[in-house]
Amino acid sequence: MKATTKRLLAALLCGAMALGMTACGGSGDKDAAADTGAGDTAADAGDDAAAADAVTINVGYENAVTEPAAKACEKWKELVEEKSGGSIKLELFPNSTLGKKNDLIDQMLMGENVITVADGAFLADYGVKDFGFFYAPYAFESWDELWKVLDSDWYADLCDQLASTGGLRVLSSNWIYGARDILSIKPVHTPADLAGLKMRVSSNDLSTTSFEDLGATAVGMDMGDVYQAMSGGTIDAVENPITSLYNRSFQEVAKYLCKNEHILATSMWICGETFFSTLTEEQQQILMECADEAGLMNNDLYDEATAEAEQGMIDAGVTVYELTEEDKAAWVEAAQKFFEGATEAMGWTEGLYDTVKAIAAA
């Protein structure tokens, strides 16, 4: 059974036990409380004490409130506060209103009650280089492969390494961010079409190296600068999930979408290990189980949002290209150049590729 499924079943069992205990309370106790009025007073006092002792956690993320991830965060908040009996409260800060990711992580490392969202390429910079594997091109051929790896003992150990060496605790990894595709000003079907193409990538060594190995001229750039850069000819293409590309209106300045799905990306929600260790085991479990449960909601919403975004692109005049089997094989083969040098260039553990592929194929 998958680890995420186990955590969800455990959470539901805890909820059922709590309801059972409530339903089985003796009627004699209720009558006594009603006779004296002490029951209501004690309950009020208990509620006040719980509110005073509640742990408030600030959750900051870049997504707008209309996006699937933001809607799922609302669900996460609801689940946590309900299942913790009010002992944990989540304060949500969409649209980067709590601050940029780097600033939030600095706060985490100082012990602040903060949660934010990251990815494998980002977490690789915090002491565990092997996290970068999750942002390598064609690391996984399907979502099923990725879920196997994320639910494995190997991944659990990787998260523990990040907590002990990087001071960051991964709370949940099952939130789909999306399959990353290429939107460009000229048609792209195979890696050969990337020759001479100036491609916007995330500003990290992994993204730059992997796309250069695929054949593009990689340009590290903030997403907020892409629209102007592409309309002005500074770059020719950008890669991201369809929803992200569409929500930023890039279809207005680029008319060719190649659905090559070079990365199957999930979001990894993190907090500081110092803060995490101050929670009780029950609170830790609730926080993580509810995050996984909300992640399932995110994934359901994401499927619908992706379909709507793709149709919106088509309506805007974008030509959408689906890879043939021959095309896909060419992309996967081109990605091998990156993997051949990744152990040394990315600082990965020796044999990492074979280890992860064996888990994915199990």
Cα dist from 29 to 23, 36, 41, 46, 181, whole Å? 13, 11, 14, 17, 62
Q: How far apart are CA 170 and CA 161, in angstroms?
A: 10
Name the token pair of 309: 């975004």
Q: How far apart are CA 280 and CA 229, in angstroms?
A: 49
Does residue 299 surpass a pLDDT of 80?
yes
Per-residue confidence (pLDDT) for residue 170, from 0 to 100: 98
DSSP H or E segment with residue 239: strand 237-241
Q: What percent of the chain has pLDDT over 70?
A: 86
Q: What percent of the chain has pLDDT over 90?
A: 78
Q: Give me the amino acid identity at 274.
A: T
Does residue 18 surpass a pLDDT of 80?
no
Model confidence band, residue 290 (pLDDT cutoffs 50, 70, 90): very high
Instruction: Give the pLDDT mean for 88-99.
Output: 94
Q: Give residue for tokens 């509110």.
A: 51
Name the token pair of 102: 């780097």
| Long-range CB contacts for residues 335-341, cutoff 8 Å, separation at least 24 | 335/136, 335/137, 335/138, 335/210, 335/213, 335/214, 335/262, 337/213, 337/214, 338/136, 338/137, 338/209, 338/210, 338/213, 338/214, 339/136, 341/213
- Average model confidence (pLDDT) for the chain? 88
Cα dist from 279 to 55, 57, 90, 93, 220, whole Å? 9, 11, 14, 22, 38
Residue-wise pLDDT tens digits, 142-170: 999 999 999 999 999 999 999 999 999 99
Per-residue confidence (pLDDT) for residue 224, from 0 to 100: 84
* Measured torsion, CA atoms of residues 38, 39, 40, 45, in degrees rounded to the nearest 10: 80
Per-residue confidence (pLDDT) for residue 52, from 0 to 100: 54
**Burial 283-298, CB ≥16 within 10 A → b, else e:** bbbbbbbbbbbbbbbb
| Statement: the pTM of the whole predicted model exceeds 0.85 | no
Model confidence band, residue 57 (pLDDT cutoffs 50, 70, 90): very high
Does residue 12 surpass a pLDDT of 80?
no
Residue-wise pLDDT tens digits, 113-129: 999 999 998 899 898 99
Does residue 233 surpass a pLDDT of 80?
yes
> Among the listed ranges 10-14, 250-254, 262-266, which one has the minimum average pLDDT value?
10-14
Does residue 42 surpass a pLDDT of 70?
no
Q: How far apart are CA 266 and CA 249, in angstroms?
A: 22
> Among the listed ranges 8-22, 90-104, 116-130, 235-249, which one has the minimum average pLDDT value?
8-22
Cα dist from 300 to 63, 235, 290, whole Å? 17, 33, 16
